[in-house]
Amino acid sequence: MGSEARIALRVSPNAPKNEVVGFSDGILRVKIAAPPLKGKANRELVAFLSRLLGVSQSSLAIIRGHTSRSKTVAVSGLSQQELLGRLQSDD
């Protein structure tokens, strides 16, 4: 316990569906179906990432960029290597 991984995201809200677009320059590009209103897209992003990574929503936290398309998300309970491994195995 105590391990925490961080990932930089570039989020595009109002997409037709939730999906990972790609991973480049250390930034994960994600499309989210929810609109960026009253935190809806952020909540949808956390739910989507929890399913993608196989972790609970409570272990994910947006630590930077709440109102921006560029975000940093912390994932507790995973090392950086585990996080990257789970993302790449999904491609």
Contact 17, 34 (CB under 8 A): no
For residue range 40-61, list pLDDT tens digits in order: 999 999 999 999 999 999 999 9
pTM of this prediction? 0.91
**Quick one: pLDDT at residue 61?**
97
* Domains of the chain (ranges, CATH numbers): 4-89 (3.30.1200.10)
Of the candidates 4, 8, 41, 44, which has an alpha carbon nearest to the alpha carbon of residue 23?
8
pLDDT band at 24 (very low <50, low <70, confident <90, very high): confident
Q: Which two tokens stand for residue 28?
A: 């994960």
**Quick one: pLDDT at residue 87?**
83
**Quick one: pLDDT at residue 73?**
97
The rounded mean pLDDT for the chain is: 93
